[in-house]
Amino acid sequence: MSSQNLLIELFVEELPPKALKKLGDAFTQVLFDQLKAQGLCQDSSVATAYASPRRLASHVTGVVAQAANKLVSQKLMPVAVGLDAEGQATPALLKRLHALGADASAVAQLKRIPDGKAQALFYDSIVTGATLTEGLQKALNEAIAKLPIPKVMSYQLERDCELPGWSSVHFVRPAHSLIALHGADVIEVKALGLNSGRTTTGHRFESLQATISIANADSYAATLREQGAVIASFADRRETIVQQLQVAAQSIGNGVKAIDDDALLDEVTGLVERPNVMICSFEKEFLEVPQECLILTMKANQKYFPLLNQDGSLSHQFLIVSNISPADPSDVIGGNERVVRPRLADAKFFFDQDRKKTLASRVEALGKVVYHNKLGSQGDRILRVRSIAAAIGEKLGGASLSLSADQAAELAKADLVTDMVGEFPELQGVMGRYYALNDGLSTEIADAIEDHYKPRFAGDDLPRNPTGLVLALADKLETLVGMFGIGNLPTGDKDPFALRRHALGVIRMLSERNLPLGLNELLELAINAFPEALRPVPVLDALSAYIYDRLSGSLREQGFSAQEVDAVLALQPKRLGEVSQRLEAVRAFAALPEASALAAANKRIGNILKKVDAVDGHVSDQLLKEVAEIALFEAMKVCATEANQKFEAGDYTQSLQSLAALRGPVDAFFDDVMVNAPELDLRLNRLGLLTSLHQAMNRVADLSKLAS
C-alpha cells in the first residue's frame, strides 16, 4: 500500500520553557503510538518531534491513507446460551448478531471453540481499516489529552453562531493554527476549536512574511528556517546554542568557558526560536561577592551563562542567548548589562549586610523558625542534631571530633536567617561556609557547615572532612527518625521531605567511607536524641527496614542480581561498608560448580530447622552412627573452621569458597542419613550437626537465596 509522510503542527502562544522538551516528545510519541495502533503506519515508520517556544509539531514517515482491513474474531457467548437443544439460535444470540450488523444467516458460520470448561461461539468478521482522516483525528485528540501539561489555561473561542454563549477551550496556552499535511494534501481534522490547514507563523520579529505556507510534510523544517527564521527542532536549536557558546567563549580567550548546566541550556532552548549568543560584562567589583551568589542570580533570574576562568573562578563577562539578530547588537548587550547590574548589586548588599553579624549571634533566631508543627522549631531541631552529632563524633574520633561536630551542628542552620539565603534558598550551607570563615572559624568547621547537606543528589560528592561527615549523618538521621515518628512517610512518587534521598545519603556515607558503625546503632542514637515529650513512636524496625530496602534498590541499579542482593541483605549486615565485599564474594561463590547444590542443601536445612524447636550447634561425636554423618562432621572440622577463620579476617570470598569441599559430604548425608531418627538423642544430635552447618554456611550471606 502506497504511503506518504505526515506533518502535524499546533501553533500556540509561548509554551512554558522548562516543560517544552517534555511536551514536544510526549505529543509526538502519543500521536505516533495511536497511528501505529490503528494500522496507519508502516513497520519502518519513524516519528520526529519538533518543539519551539510557539509550536508543537510531529513528522511521521510512511503513513498510509487507509489502514488495511483485518479479520476479527469475537467471542459471543457460551454455546449452551446461544443455541437451544435443537441447535437453533436463541433470541439472545440473534440480538447479539444484530448488534454486530449480522442476521440469522450468520449462525451457520459461527465457530465453536473451547473456552475454559465449555465451548463458546465466535463470530469472524472483516473490519474495514480506518481512514487517515478519522484515525488522525483520534490520534490528535489523544496526543492533546495526554500532554503532561504543568498548568492548564482556559480561554474562549470566537462566538459560535450556532451555539449560545462562548466556547471554552482548556489547553496549556491559547492555540492559533493547526497544520495537518499528508504529503502535499491537507487532512481535514480539528483540534482546540481550529480547522487544519497548511499555514503557520514564523519568528515574531524576523520572519520574512507574516504567514508561511508549508508546501508538503517534508519541507516543514526547511521552510520555517528559511522563511520564518525559526529552528523548529529542539535538539538542533540546543546544539546551535552549544556551538555558539563555545565560539563566543573562545573569542574572549584566556581559556574561559561557559558554565556547564544542562537544565539552563534546556530552558534557554525553550525560550528562543533562533538563538544568537552575545558577550556581555559587569563591573569587576562585584567579584568580591561569593561567585555562587553571582552565578545563581545570573542563571535563575536572567537565564544568562556565566563564564569561568581556567582556575574555576568567575569571570566578569557572561553570555546571553538572544532571540533576535540585529545588525548592531550594542543596544541588546547594553540592555542586558543594565538589567543584571541591580541583581548583582542586591547580592553584594546582602553579602555585606550579613557579615555584620556572626553566625553564632543568629542561632537564637532559629527558635522562631518553624521546622514542623509536630517537631518544633529549627532551634529545637538543632539541639537534636547536636546531640546525635556529638555521639557519632565520640564513637568515630573521640572527644576532639565530638566537640568539633557539636560546634558545626550548632551553626549549621544559622545561615537560614541571613538575607542572602532568604533571597536564594539554594545557597543554604554555601553561605554558611563563607560566613563561618568571615567569623574566623576553622576551615574544618566552615566546610562541615556547607557539606552537611551532602550528598544532595545521586552522584554528588560526600562531605570532605570527618566533621562534615558526622554532621551530615546526624542531620539526615534526625530527619528520618523525626518524620517516621510522626508518620510522614513517602508514598508512591510523593516524598515531600526527601526521605528517600536522606536514606540513600546515609547508605552512601556508611558504605563508601566504610564507617565502623552499625545501622541500628546509629538509629538508636538518633531516637534517643528526641526528648521524652517529643519521643516518636517506635520506629527502629520500620526505619531500618526502609533503609535496607533503599540499599537493595541501589545495589540492583549498580548491576548486582536480585539473588545476590537478597542473599547478602537477608542477614542485614550491621556495617554497610561490608556489603559490597560480601556481594563480590557471593558472586564468586555462585560461579563455582558446587554452588547450586550447596545452595539447595542450605535451603533444605533451613526448612528442616524451621519445623523444630531451636537447637544449638552442639554435636557429640559419640552419637554419630552413620558413615555419611561421620564424614560430614569430619569435613566440617576442616572446612567450617577455615571458613570461619577467613570470615573473621574479612576475606569473605575465601570464606565462602572454603565451603565448596562440603558438597560431597552434604549430598551423601541427605542420601544416607535419616535426620528425624526415632531415637531422641540421635535426632537432636543430627539436628545439632545441621544447625552447625547452617551457621557456618550463612555467615557471609544466606546461601539459600541462591537456590533456583
| Spans of all domains in the chain | 3-67+131-228, 70-127, 234-354, 373-559, 587-706
Is a pLDDT exceeding 60 seen at residue 620? yes
pLDDT of amino acid 169: 84
3-state secondary structure of 678: coil
- Contacts of residue 72, defined as CB under 8 A and 6 or more positions apart, other chains included, come to 124, 125, 126, 127
Strands 55-64, 153-156: pairing is: unpaired
Is a pLDDT exceeding 90 seen at residue 109? no
CA 645 and chain centroid, separation: 42
Is a pLDDT exceeding 70 seen at residue 536? no
Strands 194-197, 175-182: pairing is: parallel
Is a pLDDT exceeding 70 seen at residue 408? yes
Answer with the residue of higher pLDDT: 165 or 696.
696
Question: Residue 412: which of 379, 371, 368 has the closest Cα?
Answer: 379
Is a pLDDT exceeding 80 seen at residue 533? no
Query: What are 670-683's pLDDT values in tens digits?
Result: 899 898 888 888 88
Split at pLDDT 50, 70, 90, the class of 164 is low
Q: Which range, of 11-15, 63-67, 230-234, 292-296, averages the lowest pLDDT? A: 63-67
pLDDT of amino acid 159: 53
Question: Once rounded to an integer, what is the mean pLDDT over residues 313-318?
Answer: 96
pLDDT of amino acid 72: 76
Split at pLDDT 50, 70, 90, the class of 291 is very high
pLDDT of amino acid 609: 86
Q: Which cell is 398 given?
A: 573521640
Question: Once rounded to an integer, what is the mean pLDDT over residues 441-449?
Answer: 98
Is a pLDDT exceeding 80 seen at residue 534? no
Amino acid (one-letter) located at 177? S
Q: Is the pTM of this model over 0.85?
A: no
Q: Residue 121 pairs with which residues in a beta bridge?
A: 77, 112
pLDDT of amino acid 538: 79
Beta strands in 301-413 (DSSP E): 305-308, 314-322, 370-372, 376-377
3-state secondary structure of 169: strand
Split at pLDDT 50, 70, 90, the class of 645 is very high
Question: Residue 261: which of 232, 290, 234, 298 has the closest Cα?
Answer: 298
Question: Once rounded to an integer, what is the mean pLDDT over residues 655-677?
Answer: 90
Question: Once rounded to an integer, what is the mean pLDDT over residues 567-588?
Answer: 94
pLDDT of amino acid 71: 74
CA–CA distance, 624 with 618 (Å, rounded to integer)? 12
Question: Residue 220: which of 193, 235, 199 has the closest Cα?
Answer: 199
Question: Once rounded to an integer, what is the mean pLDDT over residues 336-363?
Answer: 96
CA–CA distance, 63 with 71 (Å, rounded to integer)? 21
Is a pLDDT exceeding 60 seen at residue 123? yes
Is a pLDDT exceeding 80 seen at residue 615? no
Strands 118-127, 70-78: pairing is: antiparallel
- Contacts of residue 643, defined as CB under 8 A and 6 or more positions apart, other chains included, come to 655, 656, 658, 659, 696, 699
pLDDT of amino acid 77: 85
Pair 117, 91: CB distance under 8 Å: no
pLDDT of amino acid 98: 85
Grid cell 543528589 — which residue?
457
Burial class (CB in 10 A: 0-12, 13-18, 19+), 439: middle
CA 401 and chain centroid, separation: 35
Pair 19, 67: CB distance under 8 Å: no
Q: Which range, of 175-179, 455-459, 556-560, 615-619, averages the lowest pLDDT? A: 615-619
Q: Which helix (H) or strand (E) holds 668?
A: helix 663-672
pLDDT of amino acid 425: 94
- Contacts of residue 375, defined as CB under 8 A and 6 or more positions apart, other chains included, come to 381, 482, 486, 534
Answer with the residue of higher pLDDT: 162 or 142.
142
3-state secondary structure of 591: coil
Question: Once rounded to an integer, what is the mean pLDDT over residues 403-421?
Answer: 97
3-state secondary structure of 441: coil
Q: Which helix (H) or strand (E) holds 549?
A: helix 540-557
CATH topology of domain 373-559: Hypothetical protein af1432 (1.10.3210)
Split at pLDDT 50, 70, 90, the class of 617 is confident
Cis peptide before 455 (omega within 30 of 0): yes
Q: What is the DSSP letter of 192?
A: T
Question: Once rounded to an integer, what is the mean pLDDT over residues 374-383?
Answer: 94
Question: Once rounded to an integer, what is the mean pLDDT over residues 199-209?
Answer: 94
Is a pLDDT exceeding 70 seen at residue 565? yes
Split at pLDDT 50, 70, 90, the class of 166 is low
Architecture field, domain 587-706: Orthogonal Bundle (1.10)
pLDDT of amino acid 395: 96
pLDDT > 90: percent of the chain: 71
∠ CA 22-27-32, nearest 5°, is 130
Is the four-CA dihedral 441, 443, 448, 450 of positive or negative sign? positive
Q: Which cell is 658 given?
A: 572454603
Residue 10 CA: distances (Å) to CA of 50, 160, 406, 467: 10, 21, 59, 56
Question: Once rounded to an integer, what is the mean pLDDT over residues 178-198?
Answer: 95
Same fold, 373-559 and 587-706: no
Question: Once rounded to an integer, what is the mean pLDDT over residues 339-366?
Answer: 96
DSSP string covering 373-396: TTTEEHHHHHHHHHHHHHHHHHHH
